[in-house]
Structure 1
Amino acid sequence: MHDENATPVPDDSTDTTAEGQSRRAVLRTAGLAGAGLGVGAFTGGTARADAPEAAAAAVDAAPARKGDTMIGVPFQRRSTVRVGIIGLGNRGGSMIDLFLAIPGVRVVALCDPVKEKTAAAAKKVTTAGQPAPATYTKGDHDYENLCKRGDIDFVYVATPWDFHFDMAKSAMLNGKHVGVECPIALQLDQLWELVDLSERTRRHCVQLENCCYGKNEMRVLRMAHAGKFGDLLHGAGAYNHDLRGLMFDPDYYEGPWRRLWHTRLRGDLYPNHGFGPVANYMDVNRGDRVTHISSFGTPALGLAQYRKENMPSGDPSWKETYIESDRTISLVQTAKGRVIRLEHDVSTPHPYSRVNSLGGTRGVFEDYPERIYIEPDHTNDEWGDFSKYAAEFDHWLWKEHANPPGGHGGMDYIMIFRLMQTMQLGLVPDFDVYDAATWTSPVPLSHLSIKAKGAPQAIPDFTRGLWKKARPGVDSEKPKG
């Protein structure tokens, strides 16, 4: 994630455990790697599809619904939203400031095994004039006690990826709505379990995808819905961000958990930032759906080269073998025949880019740098000025919050403000568990496709057929109350 108007700042939504917990997390996931992560580990036992026809058939074979759909289900209206935060590292430690900046939001409880981080976050709460929060610092599973509290409405999870699934489950099983940083889980069976659990508990489980609330992304979304691009044909999104130095920095991530995922998966480890906005442009799960994905990966050379040039011979990283493709490129097909290109590259030197492109029968937008060409506004094969569309098409959230606080150009604040607003007013959230599962599904499926030399992999229809009905999403109307 990135503030387009500043030097790229990695977010990586995922930080935050104590040294002890980091070591245990590493041992836990390293044990899986040592045992050999076969196809079933990342598909939940689903066999790969060797052709688009087989992929489509596999998508239709969705498990039976465990409860009524969560599509269109509003939050219960509440004047005050009581929040519990799990994970207080780089991401959680900064996002707490945004929760505290929103009227009608109270931070009730905090959890992180690093007591110093929990204490620092608790001080922010009292400095903001709120009562001292309860704190949970007793090891790996103390978050379960936070989730059991009766005075929490919403649990926010900002921990290493390994824990996202278990923490989301715990929150819902204890009657809490939950928002999780990217990715929401790492295996297909886990994604299905979160969908089923959301339906059964009647609690929302959302992927906190801040890039869907970027100023450019929301402007493009409204232009697409207004027909400015004509009939939509293709889009692209990416997470291309040079993280080599941070992944080898012992002080940035607590333990090597982020780097170790490059020893386990070959596919797109972080698709959500690029996929979510483009899926919104194309109304995925709201009139269209993604059906299958084909992925290709380059050799994995970048991290090993960086290690050779920068790390001492005795560093533990020398025991690691990297298999994660330096750059993955995936092509995603939709039911309406549209194509989405996804890219992931955090292992080679290059400027930050989420690509963020959309094309249709009347023209195209491309980001990084932002430029647009649509008929009849532009002629002579010359890019136009995207800023000229701001007055007409900027989302009401950006007009109401012209200079939002927080990182990544303000989209973090816009996301949290809007989520808390939907809870306070009793509205349907802008995206739901079906979107979370869809946006994260390229993690396991791109890995399988690369192993199968690009063979298409079925993307499940997590809505179980309800994608055919148009419905609102991030392109929301300003509430009246």
Structure 2
Amino acid sequence: MKRRDFLTAGAALLGSALLAPSAFGASRERVRVGMIGTGMRGQVLLQELLRRDDVEVAALCDIEPIMLGKALAQVEKFGKPRPATFGEDGDKHAYRRLLDGAKVKGGKLDAVIIATPWEWHAQMSIEAMQAKVPVGCEVVAGVTLQDHWDVLNAQLKSGTPYMLLENVCFRRDVMAVLQMVRSGLFGELVHLQGGYQHDLRAVKFNNGDPAKPYGSGLEFGAKGWSEARWRTEHSVRRNGELYPSHGIGPCAMYTNINRGNRFTRINAFATKARGLHDYITKQPGGAQHPSAKTEFRLGDVVTTTLACENGETILLQHDTSLPRPYSLGFRVQGTDGLWMDVNHSIHIEGKSKPHQWEDFQAYQDKYDHPLWRKYASRAEGAGHGGMDFFVIHAFIEALKAEAPMPIDIYDAVTWSAITPLSEQSIAQNFQTLDFPDFTNGQWRTRKPIFAL
């Protein structure tokens, strides 16, 4: 089968999966969903659930009473029935009672959204799948490489649906570029780039006041609040590509990873760690603050390179500790041209003027993805420029239709395992490592229906 025919067939199949779920024989019109983790990210996803008439939010779980209270206020604002709540007693395992369903109106849930700190994702996902509760998990499927094998094995053994809630795969320009890739506009793909380039210094430190979660102080850990309470610690003790899925998700879609292609090799390099310390000491009184004595392991810029079975290379960069404007740094380059999101530009040989960029907007309009054409108005006001509507929409529609998850267990563990593998590469003097085949050879025959 020619590459272009293969891609076109995959796109057609995918369209039937998400635009016409009745093709799979939809078995229900409404789903009952619970949420574990109602912090700031959880509340954004909760809003998307509450906006839907085909979703009943039946249960909420969080051990922070303030956040649980804010989530309940959201429910009340939307005029929806009050859900069962768990975790008010501070029990870190209260989510197990939510999964059990005994104290949830209507019994066991149809699905659960997990939006907790990263270190809980694997354990909670595994227990949910063992309880036969389908999982929509926020990004980072696990922390250690073993976590990823354990999550995969739990899904394969239980057969319970699992979706990684990677919203950037649904960004409007990203999906338009997918259409361009599948139409052959770039020719044969050769090299791709992406990453997580986002100044998080004010996210990683605050004064512990729930009303001021960003940039209000220099505390982290037990004295911090929200992400400063848990996320900063990863920068203290880990060095690697800590947040790969925003960048690798779209690149994996473009190159059909796990569906006719796979990652074969990986290596990673890290710079020195200076940014977080400098941020602390430049604040008033920061040089005398206890946080100034912290030694951070995370390199300010981590560069990870992946080799693919079909000959492409993919470069990821993690850059969260230095001053910079937000960018995911996408680049999709093939034999006929390339797109880069940093300058919102495209160059196609034979169409663009030689050696000159064109503005991307006209191409985005022409290749706008059918999902955006159909649902753009419903996505207005949703988090992250509408992306959060689409990622929740994909999860809910797949549940209702009993269809394959568009970002499934193999995608989840493959994308997320870049983190522990990059840590291993850096720790071993930037060694190049074999990338594990989580599909056990199935990548050769799996079809690219996941490509949204």
Q: TM-score range by the shorter chain?
A: 0.7 to 0.9
Q: Deviations over 1:411-442 (max 9, x none)?
A: 11111112211222232221101000011111
**What is the RMSD of the two structures over their aligned residues, measured on CA atoms?**
1.7
Deviations 1:105-138, CA, capped at 9 Å, x for gaps: 1100000112232233123224423321000023
Deviation at 1:95, TM superposition (A): 1.5
Q: Which amino acid aligns with 1:91?
A: R
Distance in 2 (CA, whole Å) between partners of 1:430 and 1:242 is 30
Q: What does 1:39-188 correspond to in 2, within 5 Å?
A: 77-137=27-87, 138=89, 139-149=91-101, 150-188=107-145
Query: Distance between the aligned counterparts of 1:414 and 1:210, measured in 2?
Result: 7
Q: Secondary structure at the match of 2:449?
A: coil
Question: What displacement does 1:316 show?
Answer: 4.3
Using the size of structure 2 for normalisation, the TM-score is 0.86
Number of the residue aligned with 1:290: 263
TM-score, length of structure 1 as denominator length: 0.81
CA contact (8 A) 1:244 1:303 kept: yes
Pairs within 5 Å for 1:306-385: 306-310=279-283, 312=286, 315-385=289-359
SS of match in other structure, 2:81: coil
Of Structure 1 and Structure 2, the greater helix share is in 2
In the TM superposition, residue 474 of structure 1 has moved relative to its aligned partner by: 4.2
Kindly provide the amino acid, as one letter, of the partner of residue 146 in structure 1: L
Amino acid of the residue matched to residue 472 of structure 1? P
List aligned pairs for 1:188-267, cutoff 5 A.
Answer: 188-249=145-206, 250-251=208-209, 252=213, 253-254=225-226, 255-267=228-240
Q: 1:470, CA displacement in angstroms?
A: 4.5
Which structure 2 residue ranges, 5 or more long, are not aligned? 1-23, 102-106, 214-224
CA distance in 2, matches of 1:264, 1:128: 41
| C-alpha separation in 2, matches of 1:314 and 1:136 | 41
Supply the distance in 1 between the matched residues of 2:400 and 2:307 (Cα, whole angstroms). Answer: 37
Residue 437 in structure 1 maps to residue 413 in structure 2: yes
Structure 1 unpaired stretches of 5+ = 1-73, 477-481
Q: CA deviation at 1:165?
A: 1.1
Which residue type is aligned with residue 372 of structure 1? I
Q: Choose from 273, 282, 285 the match for 1:300.
A: 273
Match among 278, 282, 286 for residue 251 of structure 2: 278
Match of 2:425 among 431, 436, 449: 449
Instruction: Name which of 386, 399, 405 aligns with 2:360.
Output: 386
Give the paired residue count.
403
- The 8 Å contact of residues 77 and 423 in structure 1, kept in 2 or not, is answered as no
Q: CA deviation at 1:319?
A: 4.6
Aligned residues: percent identity?
36
Q: Which piece of structure 1 moves more, 376-385 or 333-342?
A: 376-385
Q: Residue type of the partner of 1:300?
A: A
Partners of 2:324 and 2:417 in 1: how far apart?
26
Deviates more, 1:313-322 or 1:354-363: 313-322
Q: Give the residue type in structure 1 aligned to 2:51.
A: A
Q: Which residue of 2 aligns with 1:17?
A: none
In structure 1, how many angstroms separate the alpha carbons of the residues matched to 2:267 and 2:66?
A: 45
Conserved in 2, the CA contact under 8 Å of 1:236 and 1:357?
yes
CA distance, structure 2, for counterparts of residue 460 and residue 442 of structure 1: 10
The CA distance in 1 between the partners of 2:327 and 2:364, in whole Å, is 21
CA distance in 1, matches of 2:163, 2:189: 26
- The whole-number CA distance in structure 1 between the counterparts of 2:349 and 2:25 is 41
CA distance in 1, matches of 2:295, 2:348: 47
In 2, distance between residues paired with 1:315 and 1:178? 41
Could you list the per-position Cα deviations for residues 382-405 of structure 1 after superposition, in whole angstroms to 9, with x for gaps in the alignment?
A: 111222123432111110122413
Shift of 1:208: 0.7
| Cα contact 1:102–1:417 (8 A) shared by 2 | no
CA contact (8 A) 1:280 1:473 kept: no
Question: Within 1, Cα distance between the matches of 2:27 and 2:357?
Answer: 46
Contact 1:157–1:178 (CA<8 Å) still a contact in 2? yes
SS across alignment from 2:34: strand
Q: Contact 1:212 / 1:474 at 8 angstroms: preserved in 2?
A: no
Q: CA deviation at 1:375?
A: 2.2
